[in-house]
């Protein structure tokens, strides 16, 4: 069973539509074509050490993608703020990870705009 993490906390997967799944090694040059017309794009994170999905999310948003963008896989609570800043709307984790890193650990990073080091430097 998957757990969906948003700024509001843990929830269940309510998505009913079509999903475009992208691997972490997707060629960024092909993103526009792959995501064209998609209501939801889900980017796979095969390992928490693999940050290529953050780059893909950022590129999709720069290309004008406005649909739902979900990170799926091995994203840990410490990476939630980065996921949100790079353009993801939500993160899909498995129940085992949710048990190891409970909702309060994710919620501690839900105010991702307030903890942006760049805004602190500008302030």
Which pLDDT value is given to residue 122?
A: 63
Q: Which domain holds residue 92?
A: 2-122
Query: Which bin fits 61, alpha (ψ -120 to 50), beta or left (φ > 0)?
Result: alpha
- Answer yes or no: are the C-beta atoms of 83 and 71 closer than 8 Å: yes
What stretches in the chain show pLDDT beneath 70?
112-123
Return the sign of the alpha-carbon dihedral for residues 20, 104, 10, 84: negative
- pTM of the predicted model over 0.85: yes
The total number of structural domains in the chain stands at 1
pLDDT at 112: 64
pLDDT of residue 121: 64
pLDDT score recorded for residue 111: 78
State the Cα–Cα distance between residues 71 and 22, nearest whole angstrom: 10
pLDDT in the model for residue 96: 96
pLDDT score, position 89: 97
pLDDT at position 32 is: 86
pLDDT of residue 22: 96
**110: CATH:** 3.40.50
Structure tokens at 112: 């991702």
- Which residues in 47-73 are b (16+ Cβ under 10 Å) and which e? eeeeebbbebbebbeeeebeebbbbbb
């Amino acid at each position: 069973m998957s757990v969906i993490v948003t700024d509001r906390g843990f929830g269940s997967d309510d998505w009913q539509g079509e999903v475009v799944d992208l691997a972490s090694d997707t060629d960024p040059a092909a993103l526009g074509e792959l995501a064209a017309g998609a209501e939801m794009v889900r980017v796979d994170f095969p390992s928490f050490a693999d940050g290529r999905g953050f780059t893909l999310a950022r590129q999709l948003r720069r290309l004008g993608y406005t649909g739902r963008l979900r990170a799926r896989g091995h994203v840990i609570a410490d990476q939630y703020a980065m996921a949100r800043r790079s353009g993801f709307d939500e993160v899909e984790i498995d129940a085992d990870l949710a048990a190891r890193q409970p909702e309060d650990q994710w919620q501690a990073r839900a105010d991702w705009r307030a903890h942006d080091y760049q805004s602190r430097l500008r302030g």
